[in-house]
C-alpha cells in the first residue's frame, strides 16, 4: 500500500511505475497525483501481462470485503497511520480481521492502533537474519510484534524453533517453488505468501499453514491459523 502525492492510498507494491501510453516514464508513485495514478495502466507479468488499473485502498476494500474476509495490508509508505485506520473504520472492518506487514521503521508507528503487526525483514536487510537473527527476534519482543515475516531462503529449523519458543508465528515470502515451501513447512512456518495460493493450498491438502497471495495478485486462500508440521520429530533432531 502506497500513498500518492495528495495522500490517497493505493494498493500497489512497487515504488516506481511507468506507462508510455500516457507519457509516464520511470516515476515514483508517491510523487504522482491521485488522478495521474488512476490514469495508469500496468501489466502483471504473472498473469500473462494482463493490463490492470491501480486501485485505491477504498476501492479494494469496497469490492472484495465480506464478513469472512481477512486482510493482510503490506504498508510501504510512512505517515499514513491515520488514513489506514480511517479506511478500515469506513468499511467496518474489525481489527481482528487485519494484519499489517511492513518494515520496522514503518510498522512500529502502528503500535497504538490495536491492529496485529507482522515485522517483515526485507531483502536489503537480509544480513540481520543471516548473521544476527537474535537481534531481529529481540526487536519483535521489544515492539510486541505479532508475526515475523522473512524470505523463504532464510528459514531454518533453528529460526522456526526460536520463534515457537517466543510464541511468534513465522511467515515466509519470496518463492512459489513447492519444494521450497515444503522445506519451510517442515521447518515449522505458520504462513506462506505466494503468487498462486489456490495451487499451494491444493498441494498441501487440508491446510497446515495459512496461505495468502503475494503483492503481485489480489487472490487469497487462507487455511486455519497456526499449523504444526507432521515432521516435528525430524525438526527436533536437526541442528
Per-residue pLDDT tens digits for 14-29: 898 887 666 677 889 9
Amino acid 124: pLDDT: 52
Amino acid 219: pLDDT: 35
User: Pick the residue with more confidence: 174 or 214?
Assistant: 174
Amino acid 227: pLDDT: 34
Q: Are residues 91 and 22 in the same domain?
A: no
| Domain membership flag for residue 73 | yes
Amino acid 209: pLDDT: 64
| Domain membership flag for residue 160 | yes
Amino acid 130: pLDDT: 54
CA distances in angstroms from 71 to 81, 93, 95, 159, 183, listed in the order given: 16, 9, 10, 26, 26
Q: Are residues 26 and 138 in the same domain?
A: no
Those residues whose C-beta lies under 8 Å from the C-beta of residue 62, and which sit 6 or more positions away, are 91
| Domain membership flag for residue 61 | no
Reduced to 3 states, what is the DSSP secondary structure of residue 193? strand
Q: Are residues 80 and 185 in the same domain?
A: yes
| Domain membership flag for residue 59 | no
Q: Are residues 167 and 202 in the same domain?
A: yes
Q: Are residues 76 and 134 in the same domain?
A: yes
| Domain membership flag for residue 101 | yes
* 58 DSSP β-pair partners: none
What is the domain count for the chain?
2
Q: Are residues 162 and 48 in the same domain?
A: no
Q: Are residues 212 and 130 in the same domain?
A: yes
Q: Are residues 133 and 92 in the same domain?
A: yes
| Domain membership flag for residue 62 | no
**Parallel, antiparallel, or unpaired: how do β-strands 116-120 and 147-151 relate?**
parallel
Per-residue pLDDT tens digits for 185-217: 999 999 999 988 888 988 987 555 666 666 544
| Domain membership flag for residue 60 | no
Q: Are residues 103 and 218 in the same domain?
A: yes
Per-residue pLDDT tens digits for 81-139: 999 999 999 999 999 999 999 988 899 999 999 999 999 886 555 555 555 678 889 88
**Parallel, antiparallel, or unpaired: how do β-strands 170-173 and 147-151 relate?**
parallel
Cell 504444526 sits at which residue?
228
Q: Are residues 16 and 95 in the same domain?
A: no
With a cut of 50, say whether residue 239 has pLDDT above it: no
Domain of 217: which CATH number? 3.20.20.70
d(CA 187, CA 69): 28
Those residues whose C-beta lies under 8 Å from the C-beta of residue 185, and which sit 6 or more positions away, are 192, 204, 208, 209, 227, 229
| Domain membership flag for residue 57 | no
Q: Are residues 90 and 194 in the same domain?
A: yes
Segment 228-235 long-range contacts (CB within 8 Å, at least 24 positions apart): 228/188, 229/185, 229/186, 229/187, 229/188, 231/186, 232/188, 234/186, 235/157, 235/160, 235/161, 235/186, 235/187, 235/188
Q: Are residues 71 and 28 in the same domain?
A: no
**Beta carbons of 135 and 143 less than 8 angstroms apart:** no
Q: What percent of the chain has pLDDT over 90?
A: 55
Q: Can you give the residue range of the structural domain that contains 32?
A: 2-52
**Considering only CA atoms, which of 171, 183, 124, 126 is closest in space to residue 145?**
171
Half-sphere exposure of 235 (CA within 13 A, CB side): 22
Amino acid at each position: 500500500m502506497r500513498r500518492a502525492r495528495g495522500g490517497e492510498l493505493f494498493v500497489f507494491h512497487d515504488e516506481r511505475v511507468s506507462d508510455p501510453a500516457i507519457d509516464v516514464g520511470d516515476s515514483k508513485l508517491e510523487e504522482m497525483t491521485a488522478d495521474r495514478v488512476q490514469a495508469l495502466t500496468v501489466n502483471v507479468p504473472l498473469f500473462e501481462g494482463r493490463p490492470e488499473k491501480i486501485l485505491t485502498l477504498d476501492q479494494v476494500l469496497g469490492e472484495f470485503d465480506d464478513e469472512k474476509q481477512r486482510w493482510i495490508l503490506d504498508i510501504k509508505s510512512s505517515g499514513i497511520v491515520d488514513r489506514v485506520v480511517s479506511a478500515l473504520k469506513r468499511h467496518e472492518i474489525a481489527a481482528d480481521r487485519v494484519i499489517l506487514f511492513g518494515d520496522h521503521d514503518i510498522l512500529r508507528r502502528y503500535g497504538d492502533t490495536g491492529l496485529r503487526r507482522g515485522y517483515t525483514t526485507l531483502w536489503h536487510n537480509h544480513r540481520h537474519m543471516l548473521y544476527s537473527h537474535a537481534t531481529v527476534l529481540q526487536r519483535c519482543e521489544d515492539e510486541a510484534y505479532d508475526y515475523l515475516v522473512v524470505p523463504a531462503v532464510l528459514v531454518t529449523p533453528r529460526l522456526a524453533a526460536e520463534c515457537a519458543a517466543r510464541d511468534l508465528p513465522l511467515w515466509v515470502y519470496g518463492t512459489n517453488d513447492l519444494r521450497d515451501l515444503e522445506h519451510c513447512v517442515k521447518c515449522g512456518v505458520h504462513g506462506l505468501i505466494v503468487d498462486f495460493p489456490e495451487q499451494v493450498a491444493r498441494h498441501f491438502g487440508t491446510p497446515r499453514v495459512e496461505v495468502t497471495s503475494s503483492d503481485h495478485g489480489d487472490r487469497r486462500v487462507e487455511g486455519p491459523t497456526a499449523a504444526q508440521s507432521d515432521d516435528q520429530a525430524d525438526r527436533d533432531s536437526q541442528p
